[in-house]
Structure 1
């Protein structure tokens, strides 16, 4: 029987005591779990140690660089990157274990299913939300983006079956506060790259986004949570470009 490729699960965390236990349980099939904590003041570290994880501290570097630091600490080259509020579903675990017997690719995407306002979203922006999270770190790395980071790979990527479950417990108020921070970071990154925004893009971007996800991607089938999720995404697009315009105007003064 062919030996399974060893796998490290890497998790970044901060004050995630209410979430990380379920994440760790779902990742127990891995050969190693590494948790990189950026200064939790709750029981995150203690819970991770209880489940046999190797826990390291790293001051916050931004999402992309923090995740890159995490994969560099792993003992194995194949890594599965998780956030503390994510869980590996049983079908996804089975697919990963089978794939690791004889990988055909060196990077893999998986469908990410988001729970929002108490409902698992199955359409629109909320699903399948393909995410490249499983890869050989010798051919892939995380981008340095402070927010909306992504995996960059020089190798073709395949898909594994089964959902990565994003079980966020945050309230709508907390979610909106987070989106405000994210749009600011995005606008600042665009401004640093010298990007400009036209009136047409400011108006058209959220409108086209709504048509795409609510109608073409059947977001209306997710009821009120689906509508709210998509409208917030459209508003984020508008606000991001509005903030970019503001930064550009300030730069002219």
Structure 2
């Protein structure tokens, strides 16, 4: 029988937390929650289920998941975010998997994850199409999350299989959340990844993203939600190069100023 630890990340997650935790309580042998400093009712809700979150400051999603994985008592881990809600088909598969013989340690499973923006299901949200199929169930001795600043994934020497179902990924619940995450993701990308500093590339990339992710993808048919996803793709493509260009100029200015000061001395 497979012993399963659920690794759950939270941060101000009160909106969906009951829906996320309830199916996991009866499924998991252990739940490890890593919280990055919630100030809403997240911790209170966890305590209602007898769960005590562990605080760890957030840098990158993959790093945060690996912290949870390291805290697990079992080798088999199911890694979840607090905006992902399992459906009955997925839960049924996981229960059957747990009830059977323990699978080979180099096996892993992908969730069928459908993206929602402002409460509506969407076909695309930069840079992925919906559904996507992230690896989330695996043996921690054979795989871990990589440390990409955004769009991280599980890496390791494993053979993966898809779980049929409809996991609701309820991201971007409000316009405030859209722009907050847009700013956070692009800042983190520039900070931890080598992005070419170019204002020209920023403009060209933004124009290309608009055509690909709004017009050609058919997002324009989705009305306001489509406009939001198209704008998100356009601004993301622009900001990652613009922020790199701005940071590069700031660094160069600081170097020139320091050199000038040293000559004056």
The two structures share one fold, judged by TM-score above 0.5: yes
CA contact (8 A) 1:33 1:54 kept: no
Of residues 8, 12, 31 in structure 1, which corresponds to 2:5?
8
Alpha-carbon distance in structure 1 between the residues aligned to 2:217 and 2:162:
20
Q: How does 1:51-62 map to 2 (within 5 A)?
A: 51-62=49-60
1:164 corresponding residue in structure 2: 167
Task: Identify the residue that residue 75 of structure 1 maps to in structure 2.
Answer: 73
Superposition pairs for residues 128-139 of structure 1, below 5 Å?
Answer: 128-139=131-142
Match of 2:84 in 1: 86
Aligned length: 246
Contact 2:10–2:81 under 8 Å retained in 1: yes
Between 100-109 and 23-32, the greater mean CA deviation after superposition = 100-109
Q: Deviations over 1:44-84 (max 9, x none)?
A: 22322322435323233432221110111112111111111
Matched, 1:248 2:248: yes
- Structure 2 portions without partners, runs of 5+: 254-265
Please tell me whether Structure 1 or Structure 2 has the larger radius of gyration of its CA atoms.
2
Q: Tell me which residue corresponds to 2:236.
A: 236
Structure 2 Cα separation of the partners of residues 149 and 99 of structure 1: 26
**Rounded Cα–Cα distance in structure 2 between residues aligned with 1:6 and 1:213:** 41
The Cα shift of 1:16 comes to 2.1
Match for residue 187 of structure 1 among 185, 190, 199: 190
1:153-182 superposed Cα distances (whole Å, 9 cap, x missing partner): 222322111122122474202321221121
CA contact (8 A) 2:119 2:170 kept: no
List runs of 5+ in structure 1 lacking aligned partners.
none
Distance 1:204 1:221 in 2: 24
1:39 maps to which residue? 37
Counterpart Cα distance in 1 of 2:115 and 2:52: 27
Counterpart secondary structure, 2:116 = strand
Q: Which 4+ runs in 1 deviate beyond 6 A?
A: none
Q: Distance in 2 between matches of 1:12 and 1:51?
A: 16
Alignment of 1:186-205 (within 5 A): 186-190=189-193, 193=194, 195-198=195-198, 201-205=201-205
CA-atom RMSD in angstroms: 2.6
Give the TM-score taking structure 1 as reference length.
0.84
Q: Is contact 1:106-1:157 (8 Å) kept?
A: yes
